[in-house]
Amino acid sequence: MSGPPLDEEGALRLDLEDPLSRFRSRFALPAGPDGRPLLYFCGHSLGPMPKAARAIVDEEMDDWEALGVEGHFRARRPWYSYHEQFRETGARLVGARPGEVVMMNGLTVNLHLMLATFYRPTAERHAILIEEHAFPSDQYAVASQIRHHGRDPDTSLIIARHRTGEPGLRTEDLERLIQERGSSLAVVLLPGVQYLTGQALDLARLAAAAHRHGCVFGADLAHAAGNLPLRLHEWGVDFAVWCSYKYLNAGPGAVAGCFVHERHGLDRSLPRFAGWWGTDPATRFIMQPEFVPRPGADGWQIGNPPILALAPLLASLAIFEEAGIEALRARSVRMTSYLLTLLDRLPRGRVEVLTPRRPDERGCQVSLRLQGGRAKPLLEALQREGVVLDFRQPDVLRLAAAPLYNTFHEIWRLARVLEQALV
């Protein structure tokens, strides 16, 4: 079986032959001084704007102007129940059942709310397990929760480390660590996709391992939601959190998502940090002094949602519904495979690919480690050629070929710029 065409004409042909290429026109992509779209490979940090988002936000502004407070019930999309528009689409996005997902707050706020419920340390079970090189905000949140309960992260924060010389984590090593430390573990918190390396973890196996040893299993899906097909309910994940401004293209500071498995969501006795938006909307304005949580993930809401920050997500999720996450995943695999093939043609000894080669162990992010102290000149060369990606000190380039709007021709151009800069 022959490989993909590696010349420019072949890259253009791959785009013409792919029916999903049409979705690129739905996004407003940043342009350079010459008006030409930049090579935007930074969707793992902030996705570009869906063009339909502007009209939806404008409609909310118009309703605010015309209706004032009455917009809570009389707006074309009433604000009082606005978050319920994501009940079905949000659930489908992460493989959940309706009622298990709610869009609210920011990712780290949602993580704190989940830990307030699910991290209940005892003398025996007091530890939280996270991975090495976890996203800093997760590590800060977890350490602060441990301190909040009067414990020391030096003894109650367990770090799963990769093997020497290997950038990724092995599932069997994680399972072994959970087994070894299981009697002291209260919560296992791992990513769907590791933010630095782009490695996709086997959440089904890891959730099962955690549950075999009596641990709660939570997932940070910041780099997985909108990137990979997920089956959170089926996998038995206890809780999950994610942001919406990366692959979900909902804008800077967009409202985040939260999943609570229905076995917990239907348990109203669970402790939580409460707020009035977590109560039954039918009786919310009775203003009763006793908090009675609404069943499902909605019962963890604190306050009414910010409408202008939720509106762009409607535009983005409509595109995901139309394209289909499975079809996007298939295109993503083709694109990253194409990129890796081109990277393998670069001069040897200049870059190391940190992201796993197996398609089932990666999403659309590919991370490169630069060799020989060439980070600064390479970054300058990429910027001159209009490439937008992410650099992590001291030597890691992160780039994402997002299947909704990136193209094979852009990948070809990126590889060409890298080749020229690494000579």
pTM, whole model, 2 decimals?
0.95
Nearest to 114 by CA among 124, 127, 105, 123: 105
Judge whether residue 1 has pLDDT over 60: no
DSSP state for residue 99 in the 8-state scheme: T
* pLDDT tens for each residue of 215-242: 999 999 999 999 999 999 999 999 999 9
Residue 122, class by beta-carbon neighbours within 10 Å (0-12 exposed, 13-18 middle, 19+ buried)? exposed
What does the alpha-carbon distance between residue 210 and residue 178 come to, in Å, rounded to a whole number? 6
Pick the more confident residue, 420 or 229: 229
Give the phi and the psi of residue 219 in degrees, each rounded to 5: -135, 140
* Numbered ranges of CATH 3.90.1150.10 in the chain: 8-37+324-421
* Numbered ranges of CATH 3.40.640.10 in the chain: 58-320
Judge whether residue 133 has pLDDT over 70: yes
Locate 156 and state its tokens: 């109650």
Locate 390 and state its tokens: 């992410």
CATH homologous superfamily of 8-37+324-421 equals Aspartate Aminotransferase, domain 1 (3.90.1150.10)
Average pLDDT taken over every residue of the chain: 95
Is 58-320 CATH 3.90.960.10? Answer: no
Judge whether residue 374 has pLDDT over 50: yes
